[in-house]
Each structure stands twice: as C-alpha cells, then as structure tokens.
C-alpha cells in the first residue's frame, strides 16, 4: 500500500494571525466605523468583532463588555483631542489670546472630524465615567483649557469667578461644536454645502478672548 503524500500548504497562503497587541486597536477602529455608519443604538460587540476580523470572544477578553469597549473608545477621543490642542498651540503665537483660540479651535475641529467619538465622550449612559484611564484622558484635555485660561482669570478673581469663566469658555466651544454636528446653523448659513464653521469658530473665540482681556485689564 502506497502512502498518499499530503500536499503542504504554503505559509504564504495561510491567513495572517493578528498579534494580541493589535487586537484592541482593531476593535477600536471597528467601533468607530460602526458608530459612524449606524450610531450607538445598533452597536454590538459581535459586529465589532466581525469587522475587526477576530473571534466573538475577543472584545470581552480585552474590554470586558460593551461599556468597556465604548469607554476605551471615548478615552481615545480625549487623547486625540489633547494631541490636536498641543499641535495647534505649538503652531500658534505664544500670546495668551492666540493660545486660548488654538485650544478652542482644536476642540471644535476635533469634534467635526470625529463626530461619533466626540459625542460618545459625553454619554454618561453608555460609558464608565469612573474608569481611571478615561478620567486621566479627560483631565489632560481639560488641563489644556485651564492652562490657557490662567492669564485671563486675574489675581483678584474669586474662585466663583474663575469657575464661571472656565465654564463660559468650555460652553462656548462645546456648544458651537454641538450645533455644527447637529446641523442647527441653517438660519446662519442657509443652504451652503460647506459653511465656514471652523473659520467662524475661530473668530467667535477671538471675540470671547477679547472680552476676557478687557475684564482682566
């Protein structure tokens, strides 16, 4: 009896196995695509796994559950926003007004470019606000605002005044970004397909910092 020879499969034809270190990033990328296409309501771990090309159990292994994966995705949003703030500040003039405008512009531009992530970053019903990594990432972003607001707070400002000025600055950029994302500017731009929202956002911030300068003087 002649033994049948088995044909060896070339390793070049075998599917490449993902390294464990790549799995979380693949799942986060899949999360973004699902949220962008279908929104949060239709997000599932199974679909994230399918798009990432991993087993159905991989998301739970790396992130625990749906909220764990979404929280990691939101934390990454804060990391990306902080990096853009630093980039804009590095490119801007070093005077206080330019630095504050740079941080606010980065906030708006990041929100426009990363709508699913930006909106998720503030969804207390879907992410773990007490997650340590999430809290650290959000603090880093808020620190950029605090640092650039310091010259406008004034040595004689009360704690209440400092708090209200910070809230005003944050509310301005967050509110503007949200109105852009929800397409609530039709009364200002009519039917323009690409309204100059980033440019107008910078001008709005320049007006806000000018008012801060007058009050600090």
pLDDT digit string, tens, across residues 192-211: 878 899 999 999 999 999 98
Residue 16: pLDDT band by 50, 70, 90 thresholds?
very low
Q: Which of 14-23, 127-136, 145-154, 204-213 has the lowest average pLDDT? A: 14-23
Q: Identify the pLDDT of residue 15.
A: 39
Query: Which of 170, 187, 190 is CA-nearest to residue 178?
Result: 170
Asked if the 75-216 domain carries CATH number 1.10.357.10, the reply is yes
Mean pLDDT on 24-47: 92
Q: Identify the pLDDT of residue 1.
A: 46
Give the number of other CB atoms < 10 A from CB of residue 88. Answer: 21
Q: Which residues contact 198 (CB under 8 A, 6 or more apart)?
A: 105, 108, 109, 112
Q: Which of 69-83, 92-106, 151-165 has the lowest average pLDDT? A: 151-165
Q: How many Å apart are CA 183 and CA 61, to the nearest integer? A: 38
Domain spans of the chain, in order of start: 18-64, 75-216
Q: Taking a C-beta distance cutoff of 8 angstroms, is the pair 99, 105 a contact?
A: no
Look over the chain and give the mean of its residue pLDDT values, rounded to a whole number: 87
Q: What angle do CA 146, 173, 179 make, to 5 degrees?
A: 160
Q: Taking a C-beta distance cutoff of 8 angstroms, is the pair 122, 108 a contact?
A: no
Prediction pTM value:
0.84
The percent of residues above 90 in pLDDT, for the chain, comes to: 66
Residue 34: pLDDT band by 50, 70, 90 thresholds?
very high
Mean pLDDT on 108-135: 94
Joined tokens for residue 153: 């707070």
Q: Which of 42-46, 47-51, 52-56, 144-148 has the lowest average pLDDT? A: 52-56
- Which CATH number is correct for 18-64, 1.10.600.10, 1.10.10.10, 3.90.800.10, 1.10.10.60? 1.10.10.60
Q: CA distances (Å), 189 to each of 161, 178, 193, in order?
A: 34, 16, 9
Q: Identify the pLDDT of residue 185.
A: 82
Q: CA distances (Å), 207 to each of 72, 104, 147, 210, 215, in order?
A: 35, 12, 19, 5, 13
Mean pLDDT on 79-87: 98
Q: Identify the pLDDT of residue 155.
A: 79
Q: Taking a C-beta distance cutoff of 8 angstroms, is the pair 48, 34 a contact?
A: yes
């Amino acid at each position: 009896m002649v033994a049948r020879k088995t044909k060896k499969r070339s390793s070049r034809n075998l599917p490449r196995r993902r390294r464990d270190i790549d799995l979380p990033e693949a799942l986060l990328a899949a999360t973004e695509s699902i949220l962008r296409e279908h929104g949060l309501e239709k997000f599932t771990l199974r679909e994230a796994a399918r798009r990432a090309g991993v087993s159905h159990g991989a998301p739970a292994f790396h992130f625990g559950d749906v909220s764990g994966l979404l929280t990691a995705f939101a934390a990454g949003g804060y990391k990306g926003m902080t990096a853009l703030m630093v980039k804009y500040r590095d490119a801007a003039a070093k005077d206080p007004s330019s630095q504050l405008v740079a941080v606010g512009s980065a906030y708006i531009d990041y929100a426009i470019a990363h709508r699913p992530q930006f909106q998720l970053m503030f969804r207390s019903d879907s992410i773990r606000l007490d997650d340590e990594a999430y809290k650290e990432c959000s603090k880093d972003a808020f620190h950029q605002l605090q640092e650039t607001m310091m010259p406008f707070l004034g040595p004689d400002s009360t704690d209440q005044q400092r708090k209200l000025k910070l809230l005003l600055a944050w509310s301005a950029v967050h509110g503007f970004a949200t109105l852009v994302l929800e397409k609530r500017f039709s009364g200002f731009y009519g039917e323009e397909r690409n309204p100059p929202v980033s440019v107008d956002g910078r001008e709005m911030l320049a007006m806000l910092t000018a008012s801060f300068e007058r009050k600090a003087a």
